[in-house]
Chains A and B, each alone.
Chain A
Amino acid sequence: MRLRQLDLIRYGKFHEQVLDFGAAGRDCDVTVVFGENEAGKSTAFAAWLDLLFGLPMQTAHAFRFDRKDMMVGATIEAGGDSLTLRRTGKRQDSLTDAHGRVVDEARLSALLHGLDRDSYAKRFSLDDAVLREGGEEIARAQGDLGRLLHAGTSGLSGISEAMTAVEAEVDGFHKKSGRKTTLAAAKKDLADLEQAIQAARVEPRHFADLRKAQATAAAELAAAKAACAAAQRAVIVREAAERRRAIAAAIAVEQDKLAAAPAGPDLPEDALSRVVAADERRLAAEQHHAEAVQEGARLEAEAAALAPDAEGLAVAEALATLEIARFDDGELLLPRVQTAAADIGRRRAEAAQLLRDATALAERIAGPGAQDVALPEERRMALRASAQAVRDGARQLADLDLTRQETQAALGPDLAMPQGIDALSDALLALQRDISDPVALADAATRAGVQAARAAAGLSGDWRALAEAGLPEEAELAELATRSARLAERASDAARQLAEAEDALAAQEAALTAARDFGAAVTDGEIAESRAARDAAWAEHETDLQRATAARFADLMRGDDALRARHAASAEGRLRLTAAQEQVQQEQQRCARRSAAVARCDEEQAALQAEAAALAARLGLGAEFPVAGFVARRAALRTALDLALEAEAAATLAAQARARRDALLGRLSDAVQGAGGVSTPERLQPEAERLLVQLETRAKEARARQAAAASLASLNHKRDAAEQALSLHRAALARIATGWAEGMDAEAILARLPDLDRLAQVEVEHADRARRIGLMEAALAAFEAVMQPLRPALGLADAASVSETLAAARQRAKAAEAGAAQISALARKLEAARSAQGAAEQVMRASAAEIAQVLEGQESAPEANPRRHVSTLVARDRDRATLQRLRAEHALAAGGLDEAALEAEAQQVDPARLAGLQADLAEAEAQRDGVLRRAGEADEALRLALASTGGADIDQRRATALETLSEEARIAATKLLGLMAAQGALRRFRQEHRGDMLEATEAAFARLTHGEWPRLETQSTGKSERLVALRDGLPVTADAMSTGTRGQLYLALRIAGHADFVARHGPLPFVTDDIHETFDDMRSRAALELAGEMGKLGQAILFTHHRHLVTLARDVLPDVRVIELAK
């Protein structure tokens, strides 16, 4: 990039000033810009930076022109092209071309290789302050140049620290054999969670146990309930029998009471209340009758003393007629008469004033003596609309003319639209979106295949068929292993316990044998047999009384005596024998129980072996394979299958990725050719991207030109239409104004329209006043027609006012109406008294008939007091009802029970029988409750198991922990890989950059100082770096140098940095502003020589206010270009 021309259009003190740096092509592209103090040298220097990076919000150069009006421009050469730019103070789109079209900042940023203002200023645009501040930073290894300078000799301290921190983070996640790493801790937590899940989960076998316990308990409960129901039925039968016996006794009592009661049918239910009510009505009616007779006599006497006022009633009738009289418009007469009497004078004055106002307005509109000036509203509106339309049309036409002229002036030459841009863009986008790497995927597929084969090694040949057919669940295998181990343990215990029991039995049998041998003990049986034999011999001897029978009895008696003596002497032996026999029995029973336990274990083991054999077959194992190894075998099969499926999927992915990439590259190549581009297969994508940028730029410019042309055409069309519309509006106005304002223009008409509106309003108001006055006069006439004849009767003069007449008439009418009302009220009261008398007589007759009806058919006639008689009959009916109820209760007490059982139970007279049956019931209920509790417990156990969330909640926690671990692993792996890449890159960087920057700086510094400072070194001081120069073998830091030497060191750093940058990225203008202030002539000459060398690589521009530097530059650099700024 090269600065061809700097245009100071409106910037600082400058206005339309041009600095021309000439064409490129010289061997040495160095320009010295000379200006005296205040010539604007530093301003021009600042303008260059502002052009590149925009004007700061606060600028010291906005004194002649406002910031928003400031503008600096430049012509820049790059890659054989020339670019003319303008920079303004606008907040947005401040970078434009020479025609004011917005230029994308990215275009300029690309020419600057992404450098921002600060980076560019510190490297390529130096005044004395920037030279020194930036130099200090570089010397301390800060910033990009600083890193470059120190890269070869130091550890890049900041970078090293960052890498050390990353390494620690990676080790914190996972380290071989590490026990406190994140991964180790997470795996331990996961193991704990897995155990918790196993405990919380409702396993199928546990579920089966719970259901079995529930079924057993339910069967026991059914039996207990049946027993309980039987006991309850027995109690119910006994209770029913006892209740029926008590009811039979009560029935007999009621029958005795009814034998003495009067005969007759049952009274109606409400008999008593009806008789009492009828009797009370009769008594009340007799009293009402007497009061009515007395009231009638009193009212007749009072009415005879009153007479009506006929004249007053006539006034009232006339007044009533007036009160309701209405005019044709619906309003009442009297209010209007009263209003008219008060208002009519004032309304007549208002009407006269409105007439005068109308005359004055007409003369203002049309001149003195004008008549019939007012227009109807429709015509006024038409006039106003038409005049306004003429006014608007004229203004619109003027605006369009102005806009059209501006657009015409801005329109540039016509541009053609490039072809093939969409196809190229689509092809590129498709290729960019294809993020897969076919080579890497192929490698991955190969690795996955190897892993799969490794995992399947050692498995039987049919392992995949087994795995795909479905492996047993891991939990099922684990549960089987647990069950197998427990069963083996139980079998071992049972065998051991059986052996112990058999040993104990043998010992007890030996003890029994010993007890039997102990001193010929006599048992109780032998004693009984001996006594029976002796008694039989005695009976025989009593019958026969023979010697032989006597002898036999004597022998047997002696034998019995001896046996009894021996029985008494062998008590201990008998006890020992009995105890030994009991022990043997107990041991025999224990042996039997333990033999059964061993047999059950054998059965269970056989069943479990069958189950294990079936599972072993599904795992591809022999039937004798230990159960404990099933889980591991399942895991091996599962892993082998997973890896095999992964390998197959990886191979498919790799093939798909390769095919997709080839297709996309082919499509892109076609698109490049279609767009007129040329490419090589090796650089197809970058060339296509470059071509697309070019095509898009051309397309954008062409679209902008088309849009501007279309806009101009549209404006022309609008202008013609507006002109035509204005003519039509003017013609319409002339038509509407005919006969009233002929020849008057739109503005004059619009000026008179307000007075015309007011005149119309005044005429409307005058008409309204006249109408209202007419109504008032009619109302007063109607009133007088009615009231005038009545004034003598009211004692008034003929001229009495409306209000006086009305007040007198209303007073007279009110008095007459009150008298008439009093007479009418007395007549109504008299009629009421006579009606009450008749009603009371009717009630007395009805009450007597009611009582007779209630007692009809009863055995004896009513007494003088009907209430007492009916009470006796009611008591009789109640006894009859009681008897009926008892008989129903007796039948009901059977309660649907078997009559035979009830009868049998009635025969049982034991008073304690019911208590015994209730005790049996309580015992059955207690048994049932016990079973019910067990059944409830079994139900609850199953319900709780099924109502639980099982292992789901913990499984969710485990899944979340796994996801967290997964994310942490991914991040840690990225750090590991980034760290490895950075370590390798840093090693290479050090090797490649070692000393380059340092040596270039050293050479420049030595030339600037004429060999006085021949050597530079970088040194590490712990966490920071420093730059030192060697003089006489001793290191000297920049701080310790003179101001001039330090400035030369910092310039040497920039010269070396410039050479490095140009070698890597190409040239950028190197601009300085009076940085040679502190250089002596010899060192200034050396600096100019170095500037000449920079000018061979790129462009160097030196601003100075020292005339002798210009002379020196011409001497050192014969090709130098000099620009002088006028003051």
Chain B
Amino acid sequence: MRFLHSADLHLDSPLRSQALKNAELAATLRAASRSALARIVDTAIAQDVDALLLAGDVFDSGQIDVASRAALAAELGRLGAAGIPTVMIRGNHDALLDMASYGPIGDSVVQLNRDTPTFRVGEASIHGLGFTTRHVAETMLPDYPVAEPGRINIGLMHTSLGGAEGHDPYAPCSEADLLGWGYDYWGLGHIHKRFERRSERSLAVMPGIPQGRSIRETGQGSATLIEIDGAGVRASEVPIALVRFEVQPLDLSGAQSQAAQIATMADAMRTAGAAGPVALRLRLRGAGSLPGTPDFARQLAEEAAAQTTGVFVEAVRFDRDRTAVAPGVLSDLAAMMAEDAASAGFRDEAGALIEEWRRALPREVADVLAPEGFDALVEEGIEMMLARLGAGGEAS
């Protein structure tokens, strides 16, 4: 039997990237999460799967918009017309899956919960329990039905497992307990980075988010195609994302002119773009005076991106150039700036100023000036200032 497994669609959740200032990319990624859903449905039909499995967080928790639900119903209706049912559970973001408030999504859509925890299709029994509140602090595994003898048993669970960086503990569950529950396959959801866990007779897959939404969600977004037969369970990735986010380190120390810098960036972009559309965060080293003019550096990067196809600039960052500055006023100033920045007085004064800025920012982006990033900001600030002072000194 074949199934297509996905999770964490976060339908209509916006992408968070400056790269979308690019009109071409903005047009490509208009309603990106809906396009990703359409690709998932297309794949399910093309692969002629027995069911589509959605392991929670179909929606995003921001503001409730019933239009998002209608979009889901339209796509899953298309899948239902092809004779393929959709089996899903509620995640911590899925208030819109409340059937009592908004009605059923479609005849071919089955939502598993404590009243109906099992759905049978062919030789497979699919079990699942959804979130009933925004946050579930306890494991839900003991409440899952026991495996049905003689049938293929598949579980759907929305969980942070034993804990993951960047994810609060939701319905925690140990991997060993999960793989020992007796199911053939666990279709998981919640963590946005894909991984697989396997025991002797069970496979658990966290499929990851099918369309990354920011540079914090890098890699090729995908769904997972499951094949189960007498030989066991096999999982393979099916690319879904319209564009992926990647971080690209790049050494510009060999490029002596702006044209050479653009050419070096374009070469790297061509390599990165060969695997499909990508929004790149460039981390530049040996960039000369560019750290002093980050806007200009971004313009150069945009120029390089214009020479390639399917590559867009998410942001430009600078890694600290640790090669020693030649002796002189600038090197002395650099040393003094570093010493000054490490002093308690500087840290208190600058920390208070940055905190005032942080409070002035909209809440959603205030983290950019969070205290834990203070040292990195100081280091970048010194690098930028030295580049500017060096250029200024030469010009005077």
Contact = CB atoms under 8 A, between A and B. Distances in A.
A190 B324 CA distance: 44
A947 B329 CA distance: 65
Contact of B371 (A174, A444, A959, A975): A444
A273 to B, nearest CB: 55
Given A190-B362, A981-B385, A960 B26 contact: yes
Contacts of B214: 963
Nearest to B326: A114
B365 A965 contact: yes
A156 B336 CA distance: 16
Interface in A1004-1028: 1023-1024
Question: Which of B68, B134, B364, B371 lies at the interface centre, i.e. has the most chain A CB atoms within 10 A of its CB?
Answer: B371
Contacts of B134: 469-471
B340 A985 contact: yes
B119 interface: no
Given A953-B31, A1064-B327, A969 B333 contact: no
Interface string A954-987: 0110111011111101110111111111101110
Question: Which of B15, B324, B381 lies at the interface centre, i.e. has the most chain A CB atoms within 10 A of its CB?
Answer: B381
A981 B340 contact: yes
A916 interface: no
Interface string A610-626: 00000000000000000
Contacts of B308: none
Contact of B396 (A151, A161, A979): A161
B361 A183 contact: yes
Interface string B344-364: 001101110110110011111
A969 B16 CA distance: 15
B396 A977 contact: no
A158 B389 CA distance: 7
A158 B65 contact: no
Interface stretch (A200-208, A236-244, A833-841, A865-873): A200-208
A441 interface: yes
Given A202-B66, A986-B333, A988-B340, A970 B381 contact: no
Contacts of B328: 119, 144, 147-148
Interface in B12-50: 12, 14-18, 20-21, 26, 29-31, 34
A287 B325 CA distance: 124
B382 interface: yes
A953 B103 CA distance: 25
B394 interface: yes
A338 interface: no
A977 B354 contact: yes
Interface string B59-76: 000111111111100000
B389 A163 contact: yes
B357 A969 contact: yes
Contact of A952 (B67, B377, B393): B67
B375 interface: yes
B151 interface: no
Interface of chain B: mostly helix, strand, loop or mixed:
helix
B389 A162 contact: yes
B206 interface: no
Interface string B365-396: 10011111011011011111110110111111
Contacts of B393: 147, 156, 158-159, 162
Question: Which of B16, B372, B395 lies at the interface centre, i.e. has the most chain A CB atoms within 10 A of its CB?
Answer: B372
A986 B18 CA distance: 35
Contacts of B133: 469-470
Interface stretch (A21-29, A409-417, A645-653): A645-653
Given A949-B67, A975-B384, A982 B329 contact: no
A414 B312 CA distance: 54
A982 B329 CA distance: 12
A147 B326 CA distance: 14
B333 A982 contact: yes
Contacts of B154: none
Interface in A194-220: 197, 201-204, 207, 211
Question: Which of A148, A645, A962 lies at the interface centre, i.e. has the most chain B CB atoms within 10 A of its CB?
Answer: A962
Nearest to A198: B63
B286 interface: no
A976 B381 contact: yes
B21 A955 contact: no
Contact of B18 (A447, A475, A963): A963
Question: Which of B324, B337, B395 lies at the interface centre, i.e. has the most chain A CB atoms within 10 A of its CB?
Answer: B337
A270 interface: no
Given A469-B135, A974-B380, A978-B382, A963 B326 contact: no
Interface in A1073-1097: none
Interface string A1049-1084: 000000000000100110000000000000000000
Contact of A950 (B12, B103, B395): B12
A653 B16 contact: no
A798 B200 CA distance: 104
A394 to B, nearest CB: 48
A162 B391 contact: yes
B18 A166 contact: no
B341 interface: yes
A269 interface: no
A437 B375 CA distance: 8
A645 B168 contact: yes
A1104 interface: no
A1026 to B, nearest CB: 13
B315 interface: yes
B59 to A, nearest CB: 11
Contacts of A474: 63
A473 interface: yes
B378 A981 contact: yes
Given A645-B168, A952-B12, A965-B362, A1024 B396 contact: yes
B239 interface: no
A328 interface: no
A805 interface: no
A113 interface: yes
A966 B314 CA distance: 12
A628 interface: no
A823 interface: no
Contact of A966 (B137, B368, B383): B368
B294 interface: yes
Contacts of A960: 14-18, 20-21, 26
A974 B137 CA distance: 39
A973 B315 contact: no
Interface in A472-522: 473-476
Question: Which of B346, B391, B393 lies at the interface centre, i.e. has the most chain A CB atoms within 10 A of its CB?
Answer: B393
Contacts of B392: 158-159, 161-162, 165
A950 B346 contact: no
A981 B370 contact: no
B95 interface: yes
A54 to B, nearest CB: 16
B346 A989 contact: no
A975 B350 CA distance: 12
A950 B326 contact: no
Contact of A977 (B137, B324, B350): B350
B66 A204 contact: yes
Contacts of A447: 351, 371
Interface of B: 12, 14-18, 20-21, 26, 29-31, 34, 62-71, 95, 101-103, 133-135, 137, 168, 214, 294-295, 315, 324-330, 332-333, 336-341, 346-347, 349-351, 353-354, 356-357, 360-365, 368-372, 374-375, 377-378, 380-386, 388-389, 391-396
19 contacts: A202-B67, A203-B65, A204-B66, A204-B102, A440-B374, A444-B374, A470-B134, A473-B63, A475-B63, A639-B363, A950-B67, A951-B67, A956-B20, A960-B21, A976-B357, A977-B341, A977-B378, A981-B341, A984-B340
Q: A-B pairs with the 3 shortest C-beta distances?
A: A158-B396, A950-B67, A162-B392
Given A474-B63, A639-B363, A650-B372, 6 more contacts: A115-B326, A162-B393, A960-B21, A971-B295, A978-B385, A989-B329
